[in-house]
Structure 1
Amino acid sequence: MKSSAKSTAPAPYDCDVLVIGGGIVGLSTAHALTRAAPGTRVTVLEKEPGPARHQTGRNSGVIHSGIYYRPGSLKARFAVRGAAEMVKFCAEHGIPHEVTGKLIVATERAELPRLHSLIQRGRQNGIPVRELGPAQIAEREPHVRGLAAIHVGTTGICDFGAVAAQLARLAEDAGAEVRYGAELAAVDRRPGRGVAVRTSDGSVLRARAMVNCAGLHCDAVARLAGDDPPARVVPFRGEYFELDPAREHLVRGLVYPVPDPAFPFLGVHLTRGVGGGVHIGPNAVPALAREGYDWRTLRPAELGTVLAYPGAWRIARRHWRYGAGELRRSLSKRAFTTAVRRLLPEVTGADLIRSPAGVRAQAVLRDGTLVDDFLITEAPHTVHVLNAPSPAATASLPIGREVAERALGALAR
């Protein structure tokens, strides 16, 4: 550890707070703990050799405005606040970013009522929005076609992997320890004695409190701790393409379809990244492993856990038509191209180059309900982050403070 600050922890403890997971939420929590309570001994365990190797490092890099989220929800509050904080954080630390704004485009008349509902929701959340007609769409995105659109001025792009790495550095500079290549294997939690964990290499650490920010594995970590989480992770893979560099002029900024409110997925969209290039996607298909970034990656034990969960079957029965369309776009580049052409008519299959996929840790209740908001639960000596969906990266700074506050509360009890 880099800090010589004295701790109030009893001698048998290796640290005060042990954070499981080195993605952007776990690292933001560690950073927030060091700021809120200097001298608190914080250790982060991350099984990968570096930070942000999964959800954080495999998303589209969009700083979300918060326009989609139910007013008053944690997602709405954290996204609006977090977007402004993320832009400021990136500027302060020299992390590539840009406030680009984005268009949400209706391509069919049936989508117009949903577009108008989004306008009202955006205004309720305090987000500046502007309605556009076809001519105004063409002014901003000459190659995009639509009947109407919303321009959302506070949306941006950044490198969330770089943000996570900077949060790790700041936490370490303040005295935290971040251990990479440290995979959790067992948890022993006893009343009044804190938490002891064992890693896959046999190391044992004892902490006064544990914070579970394990992302794709968060429900498994909760069960290791002896808790019965109210939701289970059902992994969905999001598959992307990139636009051929010779055709990048077709997209100037960020362009989204009008989302279906029945699903937490935003649909196939167009995203110009901070490092150049245009990402197109994602679709959303069931993954065969929690880190199943392609159809070849299958982990029978993880898939068996999903198949044994009643909530997964209830999702399938309820949304099989939607799921069939997503599967078709996954298996057929022609079908994926057709979906893209709704927004960008000039694109062809030859213009699309397959890009690395991501996997989303979607929390699902036993009755098949997709958890649509952040889900944070508490148990003795433990805080579990059981659902941190998009816009978690955007909102990671306020989420980190929220989780840190709960962790400090667990220390006080």
Structure 2
Amino acid sequence: MKYVIIGGDAAGMSAAMQIVHNDPQSEITVLEKGTIYSYGQCGLPYVVGGLIESTNDVIARTVESFRSKYGIDARTLHEATAVDSSSRTVSGTNHETGQPFTVSYDRLLIATGASPVLPTWKGAASQMVHVLKTIPDTNRLIADLEQEHVKEVVIIGAGYIGLETAENIHRLGKRIRIIQRGSHIASMFDADLSERLHQEAERHGVLLTLNEEVEAIGKGRITTNQNSYPADLIVASVGVRPNTAFLKKTGMNMLQNGAILVNDRLETSIPGIYAAGDCASHFHLVKQKPDYIPLGTTANKQGRIAGLNMAGKSRSFKGVTGTSVMKFFNLIAASTGLTEQQAREENISFKTSTIQAKDKAGYYPDAAPLHVKILYAPESRRLLGGQAIGENGAEKRIDVLAAALFNQMTVDELEDLDLSYSPPVNGVWDPIQQAARRAT
């Protein structure tokens, strides 16, 4: 059986390893347009800030290890530019030689990931504008941050990567401004919860410029629709786009943004072709429809399941609830399921319960505030989502809520959970149960 995988990172190599383990007769070819395989993109902001010493530290396995230890034909600088499903071939360009190539497959996995969006601002192509997605992006950003004249850094966009990058560049002693076209940073949270992140940014001297859209970038300045600000270096973090443009002629079913539509076995609409990771759709368990939530955890899970199915071991991908967590200075912020805005977009009726509790027993010496919010359906009282922000313990509460969403629990059933308690780590009533009681 000839397997071809396009993309050598999380989803692609998770699939490759499952094929290696489950099909001893497999012939696996991986086509990677870059030179680096299997690295942790989520760790790159912390390399920029110096918490992780080198980009080498986020590489899980080298290209050579895949070749020598597992017998995978792991190619680099091989960019796939076309797929012919009738002849079952992938063609493209070997950028090392400049020559075209064609490989045949019995089963094909598309794991091409996504690329940062760079809007058509005037001056967007300037050398002072950076994105942060790959190891070369990271090394270039670090080199430019080390230049003596770089003192004012502007982050455009306030999602996970934007906020994590802001914190880590702030660690280097730079003055940080975040420009966000919306009314609050971290749009994966509702405004009332996101206000905690606003306060944290202000405590650390990070300037927030909200409700403004970037229009132009010039030498030492960035201009919005309302003002102009100093900028020695800019990091654009306004979202990603699936790397699927080269597949348009295949007629493969896709979401509107170009993400490949897959079923629970990670099969596309074309027989013999699978897709996984940031280039694929992700079934949302609360919305009950395909969605696009590109996260490293999902890419690894989808890659694993795609590899098992390609190798003949039936396994289904159950779906996602959009669970995520980030650190922003001294706060941990986590969420799962729907926010108020998302519920409105889906025309889902909801009620909310929001509390400020303590992350441990209130009488314990260093007990700190923990803000928790849950969304639930008014009639069925089924849990719809949750958010938590605090210095400690937000991730624990959201992981519990993610499990509750997976099992379609009601907000009332949260009270019945047997959650751990000890004064140094929790109160007698866990904060999510306090929120559930208030909903009751």
TM-score range, shorter chain: 0.3 to 0.5
Q: TM-score, normalised by structure 2?
A: 0.37
More helix by share: 1
TM-score normalised according to structure 1 size: 0.39
Task: Name the structure, 1 or 2, with higher relative contact order (CA <8 Å, separation 6+).
Answer: 1
